[in-house]
Amino acid sequence: MPRTTTRTPRPHWTDPDCPVARTLDLVGDRWSLLLIRDAMDGARSFTEFQRRTGIARNILTDRLRKLTAHALLTQRTAPSGRRREYVLTDAGHDLFPVILTLRQWGERHAFAPGETHSTLVDEHGTPIPHIQPTTTNGTPLNTHTTHVQKNR
């Protein structure tokens, strides 16, 4: 994919004061999160992202440009020296818990009982345990035990 000098404009924030809304403005479409997922799983080239997702070339170009402009991916010269490749930045890596939580929600709610699906495992092949946010003393957090505090 040729390099471009076109920068993605700053997003129009849906809700400027809400971190969830700002995050969704940056990565809230299906393709962006799937590209982040595939980058976490080792995809690096335009061709590899396209093969894994089946995304149309024009949409892939747009999403890679957006993710690069917002510093979730960066481009570097591939080890072969002939092409450019995409790699996650620290901000992109920080989306791991988001992808993991979406995966675990999907395992519980998007498949029928017994229906086959992929499984995320650690380096020893052990399935990743269910993520449950907790307080500093270990008490589980949920929608009944938290609220949003507006900062003024």
What digits encode the pLDDT tens for the residues 89-119? 999 999 999 999 999 999 999 999 999 999 9
Q: Render pLDDT for 8-44 as a digit per residue (tens, 0 to 9).
A: 456 688 998 899 999 999 999 999 999 999 999 999 9
Q: Indicate whether 37 belongs to any domain.
A: yes
Predicted pLDDT at 9: 55
Long-range contact pairs involving 48-55 (C-beta distance under 8 Å, separation at least 24): 49/86, 55/31
Q: And the tokens for 139? A: 């008490």
Number of domains forming the structure of the chain: 1
Question: Is 69 part of a structural domain of the chain?
Answer: yes
Burial (CB < 10 A; 0-12, 13-18, 19+), residue 81, is exposed
Report the CATH number that the domain containing residue 87 is assigned in CATH. 1.10.10.10
Q: Which domain holds residue 57?
A: 19-93
Evaluate whether 115 touches 107 at the Cβ level (below 8 Å): no
Whether 4 is covered by a domain: the verdict is: no
pLDDT band at 2 (very low <50, low <70, confident <90, very high): very low
What's the pLDDT at 82? 87
Q: Which two tokens stand for residue 66?
A: 């957006």
